[in-house]
Amino acid sequence: MLARRLALALATALTLTAVPLGPTGAADPPDIVIGSVIPLTGSLAQSGAGLRVAQLLAQDLVNGHVSYPLPMVGKSGLPHLGHARIRLVFADSQGKPDQARAAAEQLITQDHVVALIGCYSSSTTATASQVAERYGVPFLNPDSSAPSLTTRGLKWFFRTTPSDATFADNFFQFFGDLKRTKKIVVKKIAIVGEDGLFGSGAGDAEEALAKKYGYPVVSRIAYTATTTEVNAEVQKVKAAAPDVIMMASYLPDALLFMRGFKDQSVQPQAIMAQDAGFIDPNFVRTEGKDAEGIFTREVFSLDIKHRNHAVPLINQLFELRFSGKPLDGNTARDFMGVLVLADAIDRAASTAPEAIRTALQKTNIPGNLTLMPWKNIQFDANGQNQGGSGIIEQIQDGKYETVWPFDVAVSEPIWPMPVWKH
Amino acid sequence: MEALTTFAQLLVGGVLTGLVFALVAVGLTLVYGVMDVVNFAHGEFLMLAMYATLGLALLGLGPLLGLPLVVIAMFLFGIVVYRVFVRRLLSGPPEATVFGTFGLLVLMQGLAQAIFSSDFLSAPNPPFSGTLRFAGLAVSQASVVEGCGALILTALLFAFVEYTETGRAMRAVAEDRIAATLMGIDVQRINGLAFGIGAACVGAAGALLMLSYPVYPTAGVPFALTAFVVVALGGFGSISGALVGALLVGLLEVFGGFYLSPELKLVPVYLAYLIVVLLRPQGLLGRR
């Protein structure tokens, strides 16, 4: 009896919420629904919360009428579709590949979304995009960096962010620039990375690029990220005596290696890191002076304001909505992702998947109309944005200063890194 | 000469690594020895102790000053967990303790995630961050302190179990629960005490590990996994076995990592484990 009454109450509540509350003008076109698969619970929930805020901010700016030097912002919806508003519907990936697959399926079959965006971690993006491929729904990935995602031959997959291969390439471009402008010569390289998709992907890319650019790799080390000690690894690197150590590590292992390098006086000219552990706020806090001079690649920096003055403005709006936390590489990329989708749907002037896909293929957004350090947004045949690049930061006086590319740099690189202080 | 220095450096590194493993493993082996319970949430006890140490450090009590407080708090926590939870599991089938403590692991990790988030946190300005040098070798001061802590803890525990009245009662319970009851030993009290002391040991380990490791909700997992191997290798329930097992694992891991390859550093560890389990299932110093 109670169960029946409960069910009745629930049904009534559902019917009531389904009825639109405000007056609906007959001329209003229906909302254009975009599905977003991100981690809202689970170990990545905190990151997911930021991504959600960033995507919703982009949605509201597209639907609003305040203009910024960004694509599709401030036009009161999509002009070519009668100023229809875009609306994001979220589904939780829990950070798990199988859950991401189910979430994508639900958004496509039940919410009838016209396109998908997501999913942050590379492994969840991999499964969710397979579902989109099967149903023929465009999938925009703004934030996963595993190189393999765009080598799967998918027709409906587009990635705006550069992959780890591009970030690795940036290191070698940086070496080239250093040689040209400062006569700094790098020879031997050691590659150290955790043995998951992240570290081994980055390491493979670095090894291939080192070969291409003619730098001998004197040591390549893969270790398990959850290791509790790195004695042997550090001795291996020491024996190889590299000029540059390229690292791909999470925080606990990054700290172990820093400690080991210092104790064993492993003194390269530079340590170049693939963000992750090396940009964790705890890295500088724990390492203090020992963190000085470490280079790391980043995807975004507020320093980009020198190229697009929208950066600090969007950052302010984001901080207002996210309890004072500033934009970072992930939230900035997700914000841009929604704009890129809105731009494609508008140019398609249609919500038909095929039309949106064709429009995405023709995307061409100049870099200075983005929040990113990119040249432009233009997809190749694999759906990878060709204009993407990262930035290189160096820890100077405890702060991450942009030192490359030179046109957005705010500081000169310090090379070689300081000698360990014992 | 250089090869010799490297070898000596690896030897020292391996021993210190082994001692850190021993630090985590002694509490686990004690609980098993007394009540035949493998506490699967052992790593989560470690994680809890690390968070507690961090909390005290943020209040101005550095890891070493905070250690006694953490040890006492974890001792009480262990007793409460035993009284409220483990005691009930013991009256069920043997699998109950396996699933029960595993459930505790999931619960504690989930709670830590909800309360502390999954961020990595380290103690502010930990002491012993320098390097100790002698005879061309270098080790971090923190690992020396952790190693000494492991030796002291193992010695104290060994002395307690061997030479005190309560320790003898624990050994009696371990040997034959029913006979011990008949001799007037309060098995429930001894069990609770053993669980509390096991938790206190892992509390000391957590406080010392905060000298050089960050804490996060799954921080205990890698240490606990190694501790299970150490305990199985050294002999379930044997305190000196845990020390020997831990040193063996530390040395095999470090030497394997260097002379084989870092990717393969756990291969000799698990190979040794397999050999011991096949030839001497009770472990190196375990009793049958």
pLDDT, tens digit, for every residue of A276-328?
Answer: 888 887 888 888 888 899 999 999 988 888 889 999 999 999 999 999 889 98
ipTM greater than cut 0.85: no
A177, A214: one domain: yes
B195-234 residues touching A, CB cutoff 8 A: 212-214, 216-217, 219, 221-223, 226
Percent of chain A with pLDDT over 90: 64
Q: Please check whether residue B95 lies inside any domain of the structure.
A: yes
Cβ–Cβ of A229/B254 closer than 8 Å?
yes
Whole domain around residue B216: which residue ranges? Answer: 11-114+127-220
**Is the whole model's pTM more than 0.90, yes or no?**
no
SS3 state of residue A369: helix
Is residue A412 in a domain?
no
Q: Whole-angstrom Cα distance, residue B97 to residue B173?
A: 18
Q: Distance between alpha carbon B228 and the CA centroid of its chain, in Å?
A: 9
**Per-residue pLDDT tens for A188-230?**
999 999 887 778 888 998 999 999 999 999 999 999 888 888 9
Domain residues for the domain of A293 are 165-298+391-404
Query: Per residue in B154-203, pLDDT tens?
Result: 899 889 988 998 888 888 888 888 888 888 888 888 889 999 999 999 99
Task: State how far the Cα of B101 lies from the Cα of B84, in Å rounded to an integer.
Answer: 12
Judgement on whether residues A315 and A217 belong to the same structural domain of the protein: no
Instruction: Answer yes or no: is B256 within a domain.
Output: no
* pLDDT over 70, % of chain B: 99
Is the link from the previous residue into B201 a cis peptide, with omega within 30 of 0?
Answer: no
* B269 falls within a domain: no
CB-CB neighbors (< 8 A) of B262 in chain A: 221-223, 232-233, 236
Q: Are residues A215 and A344 in the same domain?
A: no
Q: What is the per-residue pLDDT across B3-32, written as a single tens digit (0 to 9) for each?
A: 888 899 999 999 999 988 888 898 898 888
The count of other CB atoms within 10 Å of the CB of residue A320 is 11
Count the domains in chain B: 1
pLDDT at residue A235 above 80?
yes
Residue A407's pLDDT is: 78
* Number of structural domains chain A divides into: 2
A182 and A48 belong to one structural domain: no
Q: Considering CB atoms only, which of B122, B125, B222 is closest to A227?
A: B222
Would you give the DSSP letter of residue B264?
Answer: G
Residue A68's CATH number: 3.40.50.2300
Pick A235's closest partner by Cβ from B9, B17, B139: B9
A142, A205: one domain = no
The reply to whether A263 falls in a domain is yes
Q: Does A206 share its domain with A285?
A: yes
Burial of B115 (0-12, 13-18, 19+ CB in 10 A): exposed
Mean pLDDT, rounded, of chain A: 89
Nearest Cβ partner for A232 among B212, B222, B262? B262
Confidence of residue A42 (pLDDT cuts 50, 70, 90): confident
d(CA A405, CA A367): 14
Question: What's the per-residue H, E or C state across A66-102?
Answer: CCCCCCCCCCCCEHHHCCECEEEEEEECCCCHHHHHH
Pairing of strands A295-298, A157-159: unpaired
Q: What is the pLDDT of residue A17?
A: 42
Q: Which residue has the higher pLDDT, A283 or B112?
A: B112
Give mean pLDDT, residues A116-142.
Answer: 95
Residue A414 lies in a domain: no
Task: Please indicate, yes or no, whether residues A270 and A399 belong to a single structural domain of this protein.
Answer: yes
| Domain presence at residue A56 | yes
Q: Is residue B194 part of a domain?
A: yes
The alpha-carbon gap from B281 to the nearest alpha carbon of chain A, in Å, equals 27
Do β-strands A32-38 and A115-118 pair in parallel, antiparallel, or remain unpaired? parallel
Number of CB pairs, chain A paired with chain B, less than 8 A apart: 95
Residue A364 touches partner B, C-beta closer than 8 Å: no
| pLDDT-derived band at A1, boundaries 50, 70, 90 | very low
Is residue A337 situated within a structural domain? yes
Is pLDDT at A348 greater than 90 in this prediction?
Answer: yes
A173 & A285 share domain: yes
Render pLDDT for B49-98 as a digit per residue (tens, 0 to 9). Answer: 999 999 999 998 878 888 999 999 999 999 999 999 988 988 888 889 88
Using a CB-CB cut-off of 8 Å, the residues of chain B touching A259 are 140, 212
A105 and A136 belong to one structural domain: yes
Residues 6+ away with beta carbon under 8 Å from A182: A415
If you ran DSSP here, which 8-state letter would residue A381 be given? T
Please indicate, yes or no, whether residues A37 and A151 belong to a single structural domain of this protein.
yes
- Asked whether residue A218 is assigned to any structural domain, the reply reads yes
Residue B23: inside a domain: yes
- The pLDDT, as a whole number, for residue B288 is 59
Whether residue B215 is contained in a domain is answered as yes
- Judgement on whether residues A204 and A314 belong to the same structural domain of the protein: no
In a domain, B122, yes or no: no
By DSSP bridging, strand B131-134 and strand B137-140 are antiparallel
Contact at 8 Å (CB) between A250 and A225?
Answer: yes
Question: Residue A276 carries which DSSP code?
Answer: G
Find how far residue A297's CA is from the centre of its chain.
Answer: 12
Whether residue B152 is contained in a domain is answered as yes
Clarify whether residues A291 and A344 are in a common domain.
Answer: no
Edge-to-edge order in the sheet of strand A295-298: A217-223, A189-194, A244-248, A270-274, A295-298, A391-396, A399-404
Higher pLDDT, A231 or A197: A231
CA–CA distance, A326 with A318 (Å, rounded to integer): 7
Mean of the pLDDT values across residues A142-168? Answer: 91
Question: Domain for residue A72, yes or no?
Answer: yes
Give the pLDDT band (50/70/90) at residue A13: very low
Tell me the C-alpha distance between B167 and B194, whole Å. 9
Q: Tell me whether residue A10 is in a domain.
A: no
More confident call, A360 vs A27: A360
A392 at the B interface (CB within 8 A)? no
The confidence score (pLDDT) of residue A224 equals: 85
Would the pLDDT of A184 be above 60? Answer: yes
Question: What is residue A18's predicted lDDT score, i.e. its pLDDT?
Answer: 41
